[in-house]
Structure 1
Amino acid sequence: MAKTEKKKIGLTTRIFISLLLGAILGVFLHYCVLPNDAVQNILVDGVFYVVGQGFLRLMQMLVVPLVLCSLICGASAIGDTKTLGKVGVRTVVFYIITTALAVAVALIVARIINPGVGMDLNTLEVAETQIATTQTSMVDTLLDIIPKNPIESLATGNMLQIIVFAIIVGIILAKLGDKTQIVHNLFQQGNDIMMEMTMMVMSLAPIGVFCLIARTFSGMGFDAFQPLIKYMFAVMLALVIQCLGVYQILLKVFTGLNPIRFIKKFLPVMGFAFSTATSNATIPLSIDTLERKMGVSRRISSFTIPLGATINMDGTSIMQGVAVVFIAQAYGIALTPMDYLTVIATATLASIGTAGVPSVGLVTLSMVLTSVGLPIEGIGFIMGIDRILDMSRTAVNITGDAVCTTIVANQNQALDKEVFNKKEAELEA
């Protein structure tokens, strides 16, 4: 009698189940248990907070060495510096264009919905805003990309400087070839070690995601959304248009691939990004999914995905675009067409170098508001509900990175369409 093999539940499925269960428990605690000091202190601010933040710290621990090794290996694997230059330029141009499109979509949606019109500011509980607004010139911003001390950049986690240093090292390794084989092997083995460490940390993802989501929802009642429901709706609608509309049209036009199949295969990564609200944490999962399910060569994705996690923040730019209109309307300040163009330019530039960590978009929003003369105190109106929007826009950020990577891979004959067209069951067989 033949044994029937019990099908093992995959990691991504377990993450989704944990996300759902965490949300259900969080909502239950909020409405049926809290406020209860024992539950709040021991469970919500104790167990959930420690385990959830511990998991995020483990993921953040991986980011700097993983980005360094993967970018060096990616740049050196492309080999020919001419090809590397083409890939780099295409990737950056694509990221900048999609970010500008994202801000434009956000402004159009916000102007149609008018989230701030008729808002009584006295009914809003304004969170205290302590946001640094140190102004730096464009020249200083550009110069700051070049590291004075790469060791310091690695220690402080300055991602743009790390990327520049890693790409230069990768180009030199590719140019010198066999002369630097030992150093090349060192970074290649370092990359293998980091990927293995990532898989170890990822095995804890269901527990970490459960605690993060449960704590988030336990502190967010649906009543808190009511004063800002139009703002939330505008942001979510713009995110959906960008993710399911703009990206998928670009994917179809430039590759001819089926957008629905792409979304189905990439959905688990989007779910993971949603639960952690950090683009950097999804880097290894994105690279792995693109290779196994989409047929994207790792030599392309190991270059474009870490780069995208740093400079491609379309979801964040969408939030900033809607927030500008919302705050302007709430304060009764009229914006001119030139102001809207300024917002598009500033939000696009602000997304470059934005750290892929939770809620950083609120910090760069101050720069966008200042560019059109809006009071940064307006950020306080949206801080209370930003967490759920932050989770959603992170999912959009990493989807944009994946679409760009797939398009660039296709243009460089590094995309296996047979793998992409296979069903997931066939890939796992």
Structure 2
Amino acid sequence: MQTTKKLSLTSRIVIGMISGIVLGACLQWFLAGQDERNIPLFLFDLPVKAFFIDGLFHIGGQIFIASLQMLVVPLVFISLVCGTCSLSDASTLGRLGAKSVGLYLVTTAIAITLAITAALLIGPGVGVDMQTDTTFSTAEAPGLAQVIINMFPRNPINAMAEGNMLQIIIFAVLFGIATAMSGKPGERIADLFQDLNAIVMKLVTILMNLAPYGVFCLMVRVFSTMGLDMFSSLAAYFFVVLGVLLLHGFVTYPLLLKLLTGLNPVIFMRKMRAAALFAFSTSSSNATIPVTLETVTKKLGVKNSIGSFTVPLGATINMDGTAIMQGVATVFIAQVFGVDLSLTDFLMVILTATLASVGTAGVPGVGLIMLAMVLQQVGLPVEGIALIIGVDRLLDMTRTSVNITGDSMVSCVIAKSEKQLDETVFNDPEAGRNDEESVDFKHIHNS
């Protein structure tokens, strides 16, 4: 008897995503600008927007996001403790941190430089005469000194409850170092955390198998509510940002990977597909941490001692996609309002956006908040942000995919430099596939 080959997780996510986009577009066409329309179903007339868009699909998508976010704090804390315990000395950890932060800041500076250059060459805001009565207000962003102070938790339990990644990372690293220095008690705690890590990673695998359904619900919701009128008027801005995002994701990262490690960038990009699709659908680097870490360690061959440090750190401070949006948006808003920016202003934008990425949370839409800080630095009206809000949702999804690709690339580079990369796993096209397909829900009850 011939058995049919099971679709890979990536294929199932793509099917879920395309199906959601098509259904969402159909629902938007069906509503055709109306607030509500009903469709007959059995004995009931169901309101499309209230029951399906704001009800069924909204609930399904939010449960999927909440399930991923549920795992972030325990996964980051447990993985970091395990990874720190396995490091032989504090100098190794210091070297690891310096390399990671340095490389993340370099890629962010490259990203915003590309963005500003492309925006100046193309001029998406030239000739655009837009006025808006909408204002965009935000609390003043904390200074660099305050960002550094806020990295250290006063209450680690509170930091976990609030999902403050930098504080969780600091506490987990200190806890791991203390565990490694505590002799026999430390060995027992380290064994416990290794077991906990295995359980959490299995939970990640279970949730990954539900991803196609969650992605479907998210895509229906987004594309049924996304208006095309604003998109058409901001097409130039949209495509400049999208083009630079694709350039950075498909050229800068593979080029850096090849130059710094000699690894095959084609293999890397293929193995990033599922994680990138997750990031696209969730618009959250933090919510994608479980999937990114699974990809880095099981598909790309990065040892957990490296990946457990670089991936959460990258989700917190590596915001290349956000920096690209900020660079293009700054030039666009300056052109729309007829403000000429000097070379000093552009250098200030590069520096501010790069440093702002350290304090940017990996959650949907936060890039707009940080853009306000960048605009204030060069004297541009913060109200200009209201011009680009309409198309930012789709760009937010794309730049999150770029962000987590950068996190994974840096993880590979750091692991290679520390001799903590299993190149056999990296070059194996089937690596990680068995883990993706390993959960058979029919047998969970019997096992």
Residue 216 (structure 1) aligned with residue 222 (structure 2): yes
1:274 partner amino acid:
F
Partner of 2:52: 43
Q: Which moved more, 1:226-235 or 1:418-427?
A: 418-427
When residues 279 and 324 of structure 1 are mapped into structure 2, their CA distance, relative to the original with a 3 A threshold, is same
Give the distance between the partners of 1:385 and 1:88, measured in 2 at CA. Answer: 36
- In structure 1, the residue corresponding to 2:7 is in which secondary structure? coil
Once the 2 structures are TM-superposed, how far is the Cα of residue 135 of structure 1 from its aligned partner? Answer: 4.4
Once the 2 structures are TM-superposed, how far is the Cα of residue 310 of structure 1 from its aligned partner? Answer: 0.7
Partner of 2:16: 18
Once the 2 structures are TM-superposed, how far is the Cα of residue 202 of structure 1 from its aligned partner? Answer: 2.6
Partner of 1:120: 129
Q: C-alpha offsets along residues 6-45 of structure 1, whole Å, 9 cap, x if unaligned?
A: 2112322211110111011111221244433421111111
Gaps of 5+ in 1: none
Give the distance between the partners of 2:428 and 2:209, measured in 1 at CA. Answer: 26
Partner of 1:56: 65
Once the 2 structures are TM-superposed, how far is the Cα of residue 178 of structure 1 from its aligned partner? Answer: 3.0
Residue 266 (structure 1) aligned with residue 275 (structure 2): no
1:395 partner amino acid:
S
- In structure 2, the residue corresponding to 1:281 is in which secondary structure? coil
Q: C-alpha offsets along residues 80-112 of structure 1, whole Å, 9 cap, x if unaligned?
A: 222222112111110011111111111111111
Partner of 2:161: 155
When residues 425 and 289 of structure 1 are mapped into structure 2, their CA distance, relative to the original with a 3 A threshold, is closer
Give the distance between the partners of 2:151 and 2:390, measured in 1 at CA. Answer: 32
| Residue 416 of structure 1, aligned match among 406, 409, 422 | 422
Give the distance between the partners of 1:127 and 1:279, measured in 2 at CA. Answer: 29
1:417 partner amino acid:
E
Residue 108 (structure 1) aligned with residue 113 (structure 2): no
Partner of 1:353: 359
Give the distance between the partners of 1:319 and 1:412, measured in 2 at CA. Answer: 33
Give the distance between the partners of 1:396 and 1:117, measured in 2 at CA. Answer: 27
Q: Which moved more, 1:18-27 or 1:134-143?
A: 134-143
Partner of 2:180: 174
Give the distance between the partners of 1:44 and 1:169, measured in 2 at CA. Answer: 45
8 Å CA contact 2:147, 2:359 repeated in 1: no
8 Å CA contact 1:159, 1:353 repeated in 2: no
1:340 partner amino acid:
F
Give the distance between the partners of 2:316 and 2:97, measured in 1 at CA. Answer: 14
8 Å CA contact 2:144, 2:355 repeated in 1: no
Aligned pairs for 1:289-300 within 5 A: 289-300=295-306
Give the distance between the partners of 2:134 and 2:52, measured in 1 at CA. Answer: 25
Give the distance between the partners of 2:63 and 2:432, measured in 1 at CA. Answer: 36
Partner of 1:255: 261
Gaps of 5+ in 2: 38-46, 438-447
1:23 partner amino acid:
I
Partner of 2:393: 387
Partner of 2:318: 312
Once the 2 structures are TM-superposed, how far is the Cα of residue 177 of structure 1 from its aligned partner? Answer: 4.1
Partner of 2:152: 146
- In structure 1, the residue corresponding to 2:181 is in which secondary structure? helix
1:354 partner amino acid:
T
8 Å CA contact 2:306, 2:415 repeated in 1: yes
Give the distance between the partners of 2:429 and 2:161, measured in 1 at CA. Answer: 42
8 Å CA contact 2:84, 2:173 repeated in 1: yes
- In structure 1, the residue corresponding to 2:234 is in which secondary structure? helix
Give the distance between the partners of 1:337 and 1:207, measured in 2 at CA. Answer: 48
Give the distance between the partners of 1:91 and 1:69, measured in 2 at CA. Answer: 20
8 Å CA contact 2:112, 2:320 repeated in 1: yes
1:27 partner amino acid:
A
Give the distance between the partners of 1:147 and 1:368, measured in 2 at CA. Answer: 27
8 Å CA contact 1:114, 1:326 repeated in 2: yes
1:118 partner amino acid:
G
Give the distance between the partners of 2:89 and 2:387, measured in 1 at CA. Answer: 50
Q: Which moved more, 1:51-60 or 1:34-43?
A: 34-43
2:289 partner amino acid:
I
Aligned pairs for 1:184-223 within 5 A: 184-223=190-229
The alignment of Structure 1 onto Structure 2 pairs a total of residues equal to 424
| Residue 85 of structure 2, aligned match among 70, 76, 82 | 76
2:377 partner amino acid:
S
- In structure 1, the residue corresponding to 2:138 is in which secondary structure? coil
8 Å CA contact 1:78, 1:300 repeated in 2: no
Partner of 1:165: 171
Once the 2 structures are TM-superposed, how far is the Cα of residue 237 of structure 1 from its aligned partner? Answer: 1.0
8 Å CA contact 1:31, 1:221 repeated in 2: no
1:94 partner amino acid:
L
Q: C-alpha offsets along residues 374-422 of structure 1, whole Å, 9 cap, x if unaligned?
A: 1111111111111100000000000000000011111111112222223
Once the 2 structures are TM-superposed, how far is the Cα of residue 425 of structure 1 from its aligned partner? Answer: 8.4
8 Å CA contact 2:10, 2:273 repeated in 1: no
Give the distance between the partners of 1:244 and 1:412, measured in 2 at CA. Answer: 25
| Residue 282 of structure 2, aligned match among 276, 286, 289 | 276
Give the distance between the partners of 2:74 and 2:125, measured in 1 at CA. Answer: 43
- In structure 2, the residue corresponding to 1:280 is in which secondary structure? coil
Give the distance between the partners of 1:166 and 1:335, measured in 2 at CA. Answer: 43
Partner of 1:321: 327
Partner of 1:86: 95
Once the 2 structures are TM-superposed, how far is the Cα of residue 58 of structure 1 from its aligned partner? Answer: 1.7
Give the distance between the partners of 1:167 and 1:177, measured in 2 at CA. Answer: 17
**Larger helix percent:** 1
Once the 2 structures are TM-superposed, how far is the Cα of residue 128 of structure 1 from its aligned partner? Answer: 4.9
When residues 262 and 22 of structure 1 are mapped into structure 2, their CA distance, relative to the original with a 3 A threshold, is same
